[in-house]
Amino acid sequence: MLRYRVFGGVFATPFSFPELREDEGSQPADWTLRVSDAPPPAELAPPSGRDELAPGIQATLTRTPQGLRLVFDDTGTFDVTEEGTVITWYPAPGSDRELVRVDILGRVLAVATHERGILCLHGSAVSIGGKGIGFLAPKGSGKSTLALTLAARGARLLTDDTLPVDPERVEARPGVHSVRLWNDAAERFGELGDWRVGLSEKRTFDTLPDSLVQHDSVPLAALYELVPVPESDGGALVRRTQLTGAQAAVTLMTHSKLGALMGGRESMRVFDRCATLASAVPVYRLEVARALESVGDVATTIADWHS
């Protein structure tokens, strides 16, 4: 089995994940991926939630007697058992291996960490002065570009796209350091190392310079809901407004990585963790001028807030 570092633990897998850093230790794996040639066991209950990932492609989540089951239309079935420590994949015929890795590093490991009390948010994050700062937003909002701009200016990239948080310890864990950028954004950063054309035709940087990356967990200092707004003459490039109480908790729930997949009792568990986190960490609405040429000034302002 190959071993990688991710989400603050060790992930053992029978096939490679170029997006992850290899682990050379000897401690037991936190999560182990198994691949089965047999068909998945029959489901005993209807799905508790479903999410549309792309036109015509859905994922469903079901609570089973052994744990939780994720079913993707395009990549197959993933059973998460033994309190989130074992993931068994039943491949769909002809499944694309890169899509499989995306599903595992996104929702599958989010389900596995959910079973162990960790909240996964859809966001990117950096470490500034040893404290975690997270940016929550849907795809296409510029969170990866903003996080990498901060990293290029002295912060360290903690994760891209999936932010695992321990709500009890108020701690942000390192996630996936592979970054996907459109060409115009990627060219702003100079030499980031080798890249490949990944999903959505973006440049994918699997191995960033170590000077840009945060490998250890850090205390979480703030979370920002990233809201791009039109650039206006003479207007502020960036503005933050702190959210309080239930508004902050609902905002975090909105950006849960598992989103619509969590129904019934599972959604209440997620909301409880969001409420716990919102009571311990400031949550802001961050309005940012949507202009690539302004992202450096935006990053400078945010760095000043947390320096």
Residue 110 CA: distances (Å) to CA of 46, 80, 148, 240: 21, 10, 23, 28
Spell out the per-residue pLDDT of the chain, length 307, in tens. 999 999 999 999 999 998 899 998 889 999 999 999 999 988 778 888 888 888 889 999 999 999 999 999 999 999 999 999 999 999 999 999 989 999 999 999 999 999 999 999 999 999 999 999 999 998 878 898 999 999 988 999 999 989 999 999 999 999 998 888 777 777 777 667 677 776 667 777 877 888 889 999 999 999 999 998 887 666 788 999 999 889 999 999 999 999 888 877 888 999 999 999 999 999 999 999 877 788 889 999 999 999 8
Torsion of CA 43, 55, 104, 61, to 10 degrees: -30
Tell me yes or no: is domain 120-306 CATH 3.40.50: yes
- Predicted structure pTM score: 0.91
**How far is 281 from 136, CA to CA, in rounded Å?**
14
Q: Map out the domains of the chain as residue ranges.
A: 2-116, 120-306
SS3 content of the chain, % helix, strand, coil (to 5): 25, 35, 35
Residues 6 or more apart in contact with residue 279 via CB below 8 angstroms: none
Assess contact for 172 and 132: CB atoms under 8 A. yes
């068994």: which residue's tokens? 88
Residues 6 or more apart in contact with residue 268 via CB below 8 angstroms: none
